[in-house]
Chains A and B, each alone.
Chain A
């Protein structure tokens, strides 16, 4: 039998806190869950009787639906709470809301929050497992995992794989989760974007930085293209959408110098015609819809692993 990694973590706060072995375990487990979604009855009884709450302080239909489908396919009961539409969060602090939810005896809280580190605060405050569904500009671990799962599925090994992440790196939690996970599994990562959207000292994370899209494309096995938030332009981070498209928009012409089997990925939703032209988004290189499919499997794997976590269930964190 293969070497055995045992999952012991109660929470999933970020890929920074996982070992390469733990990431591999998640990816292996994901493969099994992907099969479940292809069955006639897309449901297994594994988490019957478990209650999962998704607590979204920031709107995100995609991620929420993906998590909810994952939970339902595992037979868990799910409740979604979105700030703004729900009185449970009105005027309450994150901690108060969480304590209330904990008092309802839930097993897992899935948290999306606009501030970095909010899941860490929650994980310290409550007993149920906390899954980070995106916190500020920090991490989006399940997105990182589904990206990496898709790359591994298409390319075999991650070792030495050349991945270029294109766009607004500074504000992107997807970029950070990708970088941590990919580096741990031995990939070569390049980040590419306007210099105003590359955060300080990111090279120390072990990535190469370039402002030249053609260079980032030329060497890449995978392009992970990020969504550009159009409101950044108002903050003088780049002069115009027009210039952004000219310098960093991925189109068929620029892909002429790319490897023949390059993969194009995007966490969605796409600004068509801005970071990606429609013909690229829908091309044979694009695996964007497969990412969506894999997202459910990854989230099933995570829900399965955290609810059965054993050992001392150590709380993770960056603190030294």
Chain B
């Protein structure tokens, strides 16, 4: 199955603006940074989380701890996927108890990834609150999960795919919408 690119829905400026806005919203909602921690979900959520942490530092002057989650071991579809995914490390070097955690991912779709992330994170301790920040919310939830901070809401059909590209992994910042190529 191949996808053909249909439209660019965010360029570099738009991505940056959305992340800046999300960073402000996170600060507003959490009031202080003392118990705040940002946790990115591999693969692209990690890079977004790093940028949000930087933004927060610029805005508020304080450094918040960052963690990286690899949710592979918590997936519910391991026996169904076509090939064994590679497992990468999870890095959470701080105690998450009594923290306000903001989970960060690139696209919110069915909600299954977030379910895995929630399961994994509570194995590390008992945070006060977990919030969710995503760059794109494309709808089609299969679980009762919603994002607290959204860069852009993009209504999509099931035939479409959202591709988030970031400088750290893909050389440039942009978000494109692709469609299944039936030919």
Contact = CB atoms under 8 A, between A and B. Distances in A.
A/B touching: CB–CB < 8 A: yes
Interface of A: 1, 4, 6-7, 25, 28-29, 31-33, 35-36, 39-41, 43-46, 74, 301, 304-305, 308-311
B119 A45 contact: yes
Contact of A4 (B81, B86, B87): B86
Nearest to B126: A40
Given A35-B90, A45-B119, 6 more contacts: A1-B169, A43-B123, A45-B74, A46-B72, A46-B75, A310-B82
A277 to B, nearest CB: 37
Interface string B62-99: 00000000101111001101111011111100000000
Nearest to A301: B87
Contacts of B119: 45
19 contacts: A6-B83, A6-B84, A28-B86, A31-B89, A32-B90, A36-B90, A40-B124, A40-B125, A41-B123, A43-B123, A44-B73, A44-B74, A45-B74, A45-B119, A46-B75, A301-B87, A304-B73, A305-B84, A310-B82
Q: For chain B, which range describes its interface: under 10, 10 to 19, 20 to 34, or 35 or more residues?
A: 20 to 34
Contacts of A308: 78-79, 81, 84
B163 interface: no
B88 A32 contact: yes
B120 A32 contact: no
A32 B123 contact: no
Contacts of A1: 43, 169
B89 A32 contact: yes
Given A39-B123, A43-B123, A310 B89 contact: no
A304 B123 CA distance: 19
B123 A44 contact: yes
Interface of B: 43, 70, 72-75, 78-79, 81-84, 86-91, 119-120, 123-125, 169
Main secondary structure of the interface of A (DSSP, over half): loop
Contacts of A305: 84
A308 B91 CA distance: 24
A33 B89 CA distance: 7
Nearest to A25: B86
B73 A310 contact: no
B86 A29 contact: yes
Nearest to B88: A32
Q: Which 3 A-B pairs have the closest CB atoms?
A: A41-B123, A44-B73, A32-B87
A7 B84 contact: yes
B81 to A, nearest CB: 8
